[in-house]
Structure 1
C-alpha cells in the first residue's frame, strides 16, 4: 500500500486531524483535497462545516470514506444574513461581513467539538483568528493551512498589528516595508481601493480581513502553505522571520482529472471534446474566472469584443450570475455569438475544467488569477493571461507575472478599466506571438515540478512528520 503512495513507511503514528475551513467553496474544496491526501496516508480526518456546505461538497471516494468524517455544525442566525446562506456564493459580496459574523459565532460549537474529541491537531483557515487561542486552552495544537500563496500571506501580515502603517489605497499599492527582498508583489491602485476599509479593519466593530490573517498567523503553532519551495522560497523564509514559527510548503495539491464529477455528464464533455479535437494544437485560449468572480457588464463587453478581435479560437465558460443571490445578470454583446460561430464557444453551464485544460488544443488560460485555477492550468503547462477581479487575485497576478508564467492585461491604474484591444493583444502574445514564448516555456518548466507526484507527496510526508513530532499527549496533563 505505502509503495503506491510514492513514499516508504511513514515515520509518524496515525493522527486525528480536524479541519475547519472558511465558508467559501474556493476554500472548502482545497481543504477537502488536502483531507483526501492525508487520509490516503492512513490518517483520520474530521472535516467541520455547516450542513448545507457539507451537502454540497463533492463525494469522498469510497476507499477514503472510513477515514474522513464530515461533521455538520449549524450556522447561528445572524441579523441581515438571509436564511440558508452558508457560503460566500449564497450572498452578495457586500454582505460577506454578515457571514463572517455567523462564522465567528461557531466558536462555542467548535469548542464543544474540540473538548469532546481532542484531535491531535486542528487545521484552520485565515478567517478563524479565534481558533488558535481556543485550541491552545484545550491543549490542541493549531496549524493555519493557507490555500493562499506565501506571497499573499507575506504581503498581508505585518510583524505585528501595530506595525501595519497602511491606511490608504496607495499604501497597499506598494511593497510593504517588512519585505526584505526585491519584488513587484503589491496591489495596483484600483485593486487596493476595492479592498478598502472593510478589509483593513478601519470600520468600527469589524475585524477586517487583514486582522483575521494576522490574528491567525500570530496565534497558530504552525503555518502550512499550499505552495512549493522552488516557487516561493523567499516568501516562506519571510513568514518564518516575521512570525517566528515554521512555514512549511505542503505542495500544490493538484487535483487529478479523473476525480471530477464529469462522468455524470458525458454528453456535454463529448461535444466539447469534439470541438477541441478539431482545433490546431496549442491554438485555443480557455477563458474562465472561477466560481465567484464576475465581470461587470462593461468588462464583459470588452472581454467578448477582445476575444472576437484577437482572431484566436476560444472556449469561454461564462457565469452570468454569481450564485443565487446575484440579481444583476450580464449579457453578451448583440450578435457576438453569431459572429464568432465555429471559432469561439461560450458555455454557461458546468464544464469539466480539468479535462479542457488537459487537452492539447488549449494553449493558454485567460484567468482571474485564483491560485487553485492556476495550479490546475500549470499542471498541464498552460501559459496564463491575467485579469483580476478582487481579493488576493491582484497579488497572485503580480507574483505570476514576476515569475514569467503570466501576462497581465494592461489596465487603467485608477479605475481598472481595460479595452478590447488590450484583451486581444494580450491573448495573442501568450498564445501565438514570439514575445510570448517566454511564458509558454516557463509554463512547461512549472509542469515538471507540479506534475512530479513523488516530490509533491514528499511535501505532505514532511508536513505529517512535523505534526507527528509535535502533537500533545492528552493523557499527560
Structure 2
C-alpha cells in the first residue's frame, strides 16, 4: 500500500491494511520515515503481517526541509509535496520489483502507478478514500471554474452535488502557479485492475452504479464515506452558509445553524434522519462482508 502523503489518506489506508491483515495476508505499507513514525502502533497480533517500508522523500525546490505530509505545509506548497511524491517512482519501482508482491494498492496523484504495475507484472488497485460523487464529478471535459460549480453532465439524475466556487478557485490558483502540474482529478484509476472505494453501496446506490459504468471494471466498497452535499440532499446534514468567493462564514451563521438543528422544529428532521442512517455507519457485519468480497477477488 502506497497512500498519498496526507494523514486523511494514510490512516484510512492503514485501517484497510489491518482489515486485510486480519485475514492472514502480508502487507508492505510504504511511506516516508516521519509519516510512518507518526502512525498508530500496531496491535501485537497484526505486527507480523504489516511491514512498514520507509522511502526517503526526494528533495524538491520550494519544498521546506523535513516536510513529508500535507499537515506540514500551507495549501499553496502542497504542489511541491506532490512533485516529491511523484519523484518516488524510481525507489518504488525498485521495491515492487524486488518484493514480489501480488497487488499494489495506490492512491491519488500517482497517475503512472497502474501502468508501472502492469509492466512489472503485478495487479493494481486504485484505493480511493474520496466519495463516489467526487470521482463522478471529475469529468475531463470540464476545464474552467464555472464548469465545476454545477453538477457534472455525467450525472444522470437530479442533484445539487457540485464543487464550491472558493474550493475550485484555490485549486486553479495552485495549478496556474505550476504549469507542469496535472489536475488530480485526471489521475483516478484509468488502467487499474479494480477500484476499491471507502464507502458502502447501500447509502448512495445510484452514485455507486454510475461509478461502475464510468470505470467499466469491478468496484469494491470496503467501508463508509460521506459527502457533505449528499448529506444535505438527504437532510442528514446542513452546510454552514459560506461566501462562495472565499469560503468565509460568520459566527452568527454557525449559531443559527446549531439552533436550527438542535432546537427548532424545522431542524427535527435532521436529527431523525441521522438516527436512521446510524446502522450504515456502524455496521460491522456489512464491513466484514465487504472485506470478504475483496479478499475473494
Structure 1 length as normaliser, TM-score? 0.60
Q: TM-score, normalised by structure 2?
A: 0.95
Q: CA deviation at 1:197?
A: 4.7
Residues 1:456 and 2:294 aligned together: no
- Contact 2:4–2:10 (Cα < 8 Å) also in 1: yes
- Secondary structure of 2:53's counterpart equals strand
Retained in 1: the 8 A contact 2:231–2:237?
Answer: yes
Unaligned runs of 5+ in 2: none
> 1:419 — aligned with what?
250
1:149 aligned partner: 131
Tell me if the contact between 1:46 and 1:68 (Cα under 8 Å) persists in the aligned partners.
yes
Contact 2:60/2:80, CA 8 A, preserved across alignment:
yes
Where in structure 2 are the equivalents of 1:229-308 lying within 5 Å?
Answer: 229-252=201-224
Report how many aligned residue pairs link the two structures. 297
Larger radius of gyration: 1
Deviation at 1:120, TM superposition (A): 1.3
Distance 1:423 1:230 in 2: 31
SS of corresponding position for 1:224: strand
**For 2:134 and 2:28, how far apart are their aligned partners in 1?**
27
Measure the CA separation in 2 of the matches of 1:73 and 1:189: 37
* Alignment equivalent of 2:192, drawn from 193, 217, 220: 220
How far 1:203 moved relative to its partner? Answer: 4.9
376, 379, 399: which one pairs with 2:230?
399
Deviation at 1:121, TM superposition (A): 0.7
Which residue is equivalent to 2:5? 23
Partner of 2:154: helix, strand, or coil?
A: coil
Per-residue deviation, 1:64:
0.5
Query: Which structure exhibits the higher relative contact order, with contacts defined as CA atoms closer than 8 Å and separated by 6 or more residues?
Result: 1
**Distance in 2 (alpha carbons) for counterparts of 1:136 and 1:407:** 44
Shift in Å, 1:460: 1.0
Trace 1:73-472 onto structure 2 (pairs within 5 A): 73-156=55-138, 158=139, 164-198=140-174, 203-213=178-188, 217-252=189-224, 396-466=227-297
CA contact (8 A) 1:46 1:69 kept: yes
Q: Deviations over 1:342-390 (max 9, x none)?
A: xxxxxxxxxxxxxxxxxxxxxxxxxxxxx5xx6xxxxxxxxxxxxxxxx
Gaps of 5+ in 1: 1-18, 159-163, 253-370, 375-395, 467-477
Contact 2:135–2:185 (8 Å) recurs in 1: no
Between the aligned partners of 2:72 and 2:123, the Cα distance in structure 1 is 32
Counterparts of 2:243 and 2:287, CA distance in 1: 39
- Label 1:249 to 1:188 Cα distance change in 2 as closer, same or farther (>3 A): same
Contact 1:197 1:203 in 2 (8 A): no
CA RMSD of aligned residues (A): 1.7
For residues 79 and 189 of structure 1, do their structure 2 counterparts lie closer, same or farther at Cα, with a shift above 3 Å needed? Answer: closer
- Does structure 2 retain, via aligned residues, the 8 Å contact 1:151–1:232? no
Whether contact under 8 Å (1:190, 1:413) holds in the other structure is yes
Describe the superposition over 1:269-299 as per-residue Cα deviations: whole angstroms up to 9, x where unpaired: xxxxxxxxxxxxxxxxxxxxxxxxxxxxxxx
